[in-house]
Amino acid sequence: MPVEEKVFFEDQPGRKFDRCMANGIVKGGGGFVVGAVISLLFLRRRVWPILLGTGFGIGVAYKTCEKDLESFK
């Protein structure tokens, strides 16, 4: 049976920021992998699909983070 942790209000922005950083790493890495696969399979090893995929992943993570942290304004 899990024990519920009491989360103080002061800790909530830190936890959300940590979640945002983890989300950025995961989505940026996913975009990197998708861009690398597309580059290797279809575009004769060009760099721009990797950069574009990584940028899209980080952009989506940034937008999600911005939405999550907006509640603290």
Q: Give the model's pLDDT for residue 16.
A: 87
Which tens digit of pLDDT belongs to each residue from 39-71?
Answer: 999 988 889 999 999 999 999 999 999 998 887
Global pTM reads: 0.78
Chain-centroid distance of CA 4 in Å reads 27
Residues 3-46 pLDDT 10s: 677 777 777 888 888 999 999 999 999 999 999 999 999 988 88
* Residue 35: its H or E element: helix 12-42
What the block records as the tokens of 52 is: 């574009």
So what's the pLDDT on residue 38?
93
For residue 66 the two structure tokens come to 């911005």
Q: What is the pLDDT of residue 1?
A: 57
Which letter does DSSP use for residue 8 in this model? -
